[in-house]
Amino acid sequence: MSPSPKALHSAHNPSWGTPEFLLTRARDCLGGSLDLDPCSSPKHNERVRATRFYDEADDGLTRPWRGRVLVNPPGRKVRQFWTKLLGEVQAAAVTNEPLSAIWVGFSLAQLAWLQEPLEYPTCILRKRVAFVREDGQVGHSPSHHNYVTAIGIAPTAFQRAFGALGVITWTASCEGT
């Protein structure tokens, strides 16, 4: 049985912000800006600079997601946020509303646990990511490697933005993504 990613995330702070070097690349893939961060906070959004963000009180799992989305899920709700993202992708396809997303994954164990990210362009990062605390301080690098997944983004654009950071992988089914 695969370990749950919940057990692999810090119990002291389940909400770690995305570091600037990943934010810059995410914005590059998504046309220069972010429309939504569905699992953020006012402090984290000062760096993310999404047009809209949902904090814990807003509960991004119950709100609609459209546009260019950055998802760095809280450790205790990884599966729920992944399921929500896939549901929003399907809903956007039906309604013809645009949705593209960068998913920042915490660990390769989480990647194996979720399985579906490999159906989309995914960068297995060479270096472990030191995420950012709520107070803006950079935390210690975790003991495991991280990954980034693109949904609704051309694989070539994702490769240009993230290729230097690690190994890009995806299945043939996402060629038209």
Boundaries of every domain in the chain = 16-171
Q: Which of 6-15, 126-135, 149-158 shows the lowest per-residue confidence on average (mean pLDDT)?
A: 6-15
**C-alpha–C-alpha distance, residues 123 and 159, integer Å:** 8
Question: CA nearest 9: which of 102, 100, 81?
Answer: 81
Pairing of strands 99-105, 52-53: unpaired
Surface-to-core class of residue 86, CB atoms within 10 Å of its CB (0-12 exposed, 13-18 middle, 19+ buried): middle
Print the SS3 string covering 54-109: CCCCCCHHHCCCCEEEEECCCHHHHHHHHHHHHHHHHHHHHHCCCEEEEEEECCHH
What is the mean pLDDT of the segment spanning 100-117? 79
Residue 135: per-residue pLDDT? 77
As a whole number of angstroms, the distance between CA 37 and CA 14 comes to 16
Higher per-residue pLDDT: 173 or 120: 120
Give the model confidence (pLDDT) of 159-174 as tens digits.
999 999 999 987 655 4
Spatial distance between the Cα atoms of 16 and 64, rounded to a whole number of angstroms:
22
Q: How far is CA 33 from CA 48, 82, 84, 92, 136, in A?
A: 9, 22, 22, 19, 21
* Residue 164: predicted pLDDT: 96
* pLDDT on residue 2: 39
pLDDT one-digit tens code per residue, 64-75? 999 999 999 988
Q: How confident is the model at residue 177 (pLDDT cuts 50, 70, 90)?
A: very low
Predicted TM-score of the model (pTM) = 0.84
CATH class for the domain made up of 16-171: alpha beta
